[in-house]
Structure 1
Amino acid sequence: MLGWAVMFLIIALIAAVFGFFGIVSTAVGIAKILFFVFLIMSILSFIFGKRSSV
């Protein structure tokens, strides 16, 4: 998921260079959403994934 966020960020940067500002705002919004979803999922994985199997 982090890879998708980085990909949309790169798309946004390339679109900004060429002047497509409508695409930039959409791509940045998607990248932000995907980054925060990745962040929440990774935190939950660290919290609930460290259960010991004794």
Structure 2
Amino acid sequence: MERFLDHPESGMFRGPYLRIRTPFHKAAAGWEKYLEWDPGFTPYRHQANR
């Protein structure tokens, strides 16, 4: 369990920081055609589907 949590690349803890992974994925290319403005970032897939 300790190796799982403290692994330097895939572990949850990185030094004094906690890395939380979200289950979200970036929107696929072409999501921009549904907006009339640029939000300045690539939304997640669930945001682009709205």
TM bucket (normalised to shorter chain) is under 0.3
Instruction: Flag the structure with higher helix content.
Output: 1
TM-score (norm 2): 0.21
Higher relative contact order (CA 8 A, sep 6+): 1
Q: Highest Rg: 1 or 2?
A: 2
Higher strand share goes to which structure?
2
